[in-house]
Chain A
Amino acid sequence: MTAQDNLHFAPGTLIIGKWHQNHYQLVKWLGSGAQGTVYLGRDGRRSVAIKLAKDRASLISEVNVLKQFEKLRGDPLGPSLYDSDDWLTRGGTIGFCVMEYLDGVSLSEALKRKPFDWTLVYMLQLLKQLQQLHNSGYIFGDLKPENLILMHPGHAIRCLDFGGATRIGRSVREYTEFYDRGYWGFGSRRAEPSYDLFACVMIMIYAAAGKRIARTNEPQVQLIHFVKNHPKLAPYRKTVMNAMRGNYSTADIMRRDLLQEVMTSRQSNPQMPQSRRNVRKTNAVSNRSGWKSAWLAASVLLTAYIVFVIVYVM
């Protein structure tokens, strides 16, 4: 295997594909991960993301999955795939793929900066997208905030890294311990929709805690306790617990339940100020009725006085 650990190239470097002969120019380094390094690049007319792979085999698996998703209808989940090829350099052959450049902030950044209400909005969006993905016979596998991006205008969620996408019924290809139900003792690593839904729960826990909480000796008890007692999660605990225990067979059902809890908790959640307003309102009412009786008393007196004057004068 040719391991290219050093995948750093200067902006302006020209990449020519060995098989398809397309030309690309590197513009800017975007990020590095376990699988390789991604650059912003140009293919002449448009901006593209170019992923240079450490290991060509794993790149091919990812490209295969991206191709699958190209066929999906509806909102695109991942970046479109434009090209995949080999680049012959002096140091050896580097496999690369060229895809749509997704401009936005990663969900891990957004969760840190925005209030928890937004987490729920992102979740509802994500669940809708997951349903589409599951319909196509795949699960996402390595679902985590770092792999999700919020597009610049509009906050639409897109997925960046499909390295973990797995056909339903197989064993999950790639996962991150914190988001993995096996790690927390909540089930197998077989690819089924409920595997992704558990990861959604962990994203919510991550957002509520502000960090990846550390696993204790009794992980199941720990998570259940956390969800039931955390003020941000408690209003949604029914849905969250169901998803955690693997009770949802589809993302749609979880979405429906979550949506319902979100809508009903909206009315009861800002309870404090609302009831205070009510109190003030009743006070105002009783005040007004106080005035009314005072005015009534005054007008009765006045009427009596007028009657008295009239009677007296007449």
Chain B
Amino acid sequence: MQTNERGLRWLETGGSLTVYLEGDIDHHSAQTIRSRIDTKLFLTRPEELVLDLSRVNFMDSAGLGLILGRFTKASELGVGFRLSSPNRHIQKILDLAGMERIVPITAARSV
């Protein structure tokens, strides 16, 4: 796993770019996270963008907006998109939004 100068943790394997989100995702933190992911996405242009949620402690509806925004951005670039490893609290809000019907969610940390 690598960390760039802006504090984003990611892993590139094959055509996949996995970004490891961490801590609390709310309206306050979403803006910074968004620009970090988008910058990396534009520079890397992977086949697939994976957002790994295993290290996320807290997420509210701002996180839903962040995820859907990245999904839209990836689709515009012809990049595949997937969520990975949400804990059960994060899964609850994903379920509420029907996220599984929009983007694939994989449970195990399959990279």
- A-B complex is real: no
**Interfacial residues, chain B to chain A (CB-CB below 8 A):** none
**Interfacial residues, chain A to chain B (CB-CB below 8 A):** none
